[in-house]
């Protein structure tokens, strides 16, 4: 009997060790993918010019004239956070804060910067989220704590562009989830609307989907232990990082965009988000669009639809 109990205890200890080890690996794999981020940072300019040829002349012009500028703030933890910004071609109070996706950086959202600055004639500010681009940090935060930094960037953008702005926040992928998380917080009077493009319902939902697809594993118990360890290490957990719950609190208009061929942040996620949002809202399901490619593959229609939506609230 004692031998059997020792065997059972040993199996339990090994199982717990494996669960903790697997959870730590999941956190590292998801929140500190350093090689991927370094490669994307190094190739950003070339990738953007290749995928969006119209950006080259525009970026060159902004740089030549000194219109594209850098600014920094300190995070609540003392880390240096970076953003780029540019005034509109003509003086205006219309301003867009534009939020990038997972492992990306501010310049990888320059196509949306082009939409607002070149086409719609807005001022633009594009932050590097915590741990991304030229911003410091310990790990990716999947939009949850980033929402507080974006709120600060919104407060920075307002005085940069004259102090009486009318502002939209527009994010793609993780940046869209961040935008929705921002939307559930109390807003300043200058904030008028939000645009989210292919954001996830919650970090737990997105990680559960990836855990099943990439590793063939169920969410329980690995994801729950990883969430607990994330809270211990980084101060937030996967369940609280919910765009869905934040959208329920959003009092300002929001446009929802999602490609019907999105298999990374699956298209089904947009429907509960849209239903949860009270008040003014609009939904555009983009035929044939894969993840984060709705603008690239439908530039004219994307620009028209976004311009019409934000134009209802920003004059």
pLDDT grade for 278, boundaries at 50, 70 and 90: very high
Helix 2-31 / helix 203-215 crossing angle, nearest 10 deg: 110
pLDDT of residue 1: 63
Mean pLDDT of 126-139: 98
Q: What is the pLDDT of residues 59-82, one digit of tens each?
A: 999 999 999 999 999 999 999 999
Tokens at residue 221, please? 């118990």
Q: CA separation (Å) from 198 to 12, 168, 269, 274, 301?
A: 41, 17, 8, 12, 16
Q: What does the alpha-carbon distance between residue 276 and residue 270 come to, in Å, rounded to a whole number?
A: 10
DSSP 202: B
Q: What is the pLDDT of residues 87-101, one digit of tens each?
A: 999 999 999 999 999
Tokens at residue 239, please? 């369940």
pLDDT of residue 35: 96
Q: Is the pLDDT score of 229 beyond 90? A: yes
pLDDT of residue 4: 59
pLDDT of residue 19: 76
Helix 203-215 / helix 222-234 crossing angle, nearest 10 deg: 130
Q: Is the pLDDT score of 6 beyond 90? A: no
Q: What is the pLDDT of residues 188-225, one digit of tens each?
A: 999 999 999 999 999 999 999 999 999 999 999 999 99
Q: Is the pLDDT score of 286 beyond 70? A: yes
pLDDT of residue 56: 95
Q: Is the pLDDT score of 54 beyond 80? A: yes
Mean pLDDT of 215-237: 95
Mean pLDDT of 260-265: 98
Tokens at residue 61, please? 């012009």
CB atoms within 10 A of CB 11: 10
Lowest pLDDT segment from 17-26, 249-258, 269-278: 17-26
Tokens at residue 111, please? 């196509």
Phi first, then psi: give them for residue 92, nearest 5 degrees. Answer: -155, 160
pLDDT grade for 22, boundaries at 50, 70 and 90: confident
Q: Is the pLDDT score of 9 beyond 80? A: no
Q: What does the alpha-carbon distance between residue 66 and residue 68 come to, in Å, rounded to a whole number?
A: 6
Tokens at residue 303, please? 């620009």
Total residue count of the chain as it appears in this document: 315
pLDDT of residue 20: 85
Mean pLDDT of 34-52: 97
pLDDT of residue 124: 98
220-226 long-range Cβ contacts below 8 angstroms, 24+ apart: 221/19, 222/19, 222/22, 222/23, 222/26, 223/26, 225/19, 225/20, 225/23, 226/22, 226/23, 226/24, 226/26, 226/27
């Amino acid at each position: 009997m004692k031998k059997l109990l020792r065997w059972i205890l040993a199996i339990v200890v090994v199982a717990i060790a494996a669960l903790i080890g697997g959870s730590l690996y999941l956190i590292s794999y998801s929140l500190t993918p350093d090689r991927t981020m370094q490669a994307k940072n190094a190739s950003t300019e070339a990738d953007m010019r290749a995928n969006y040829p119209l950006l080259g002349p525009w970026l060159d012009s902004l740089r030549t004239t000194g219109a594209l500028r850098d600014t920094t703030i300190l995070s609540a933890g003392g880390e240096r956070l970076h953003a780029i910004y540019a005034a509109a071609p003509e003086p205006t109070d219309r301003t867009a804060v534009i939020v990038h996706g997972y492992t990306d950086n501010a310049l990888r959202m320059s196509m949306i910067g082009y939409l607002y600055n070149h086409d719609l004639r807005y001022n633009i500010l594009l932050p590097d989220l915590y741990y991304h681009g030229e911003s410091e940090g310990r790990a990716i935060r999947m939009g949850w704590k980033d929402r507080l930094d974006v709120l600060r960037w919104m407060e920075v953008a307002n005085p940069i562009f004259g102090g009486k702005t009318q502002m939209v926040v527009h994010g793609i992928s993780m940046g869209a989830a961040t935008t929705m998380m921002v939307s559930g917080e109390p807003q300043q009077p200058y904030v008028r609307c939000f645009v989210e493009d292919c954001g996830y319902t919650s970090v737990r939902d997105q990680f559960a989907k990836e855990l099943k697809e990439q590793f063939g594993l169920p969410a329980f118990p690995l994801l729950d232990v990883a969430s607990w360890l994330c809270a211990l290490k980084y101060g937030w957990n996967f369940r609280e990082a919910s765009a869905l719950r934040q959208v329920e609190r959003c009092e300002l208009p929001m446009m929802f965009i999602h490609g019907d061929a999105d298999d990374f942040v699956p298209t089904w996620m947009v429907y509960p988000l849209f239903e949860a949002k009270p008040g003014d809202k609009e939904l555009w399901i983009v035929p044939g669009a894969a993840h984060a490619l709705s603008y690239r593959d439908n530039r004219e229609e994307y620009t028209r639809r976004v311009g019409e939506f934000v134009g209802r609230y920003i004059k």
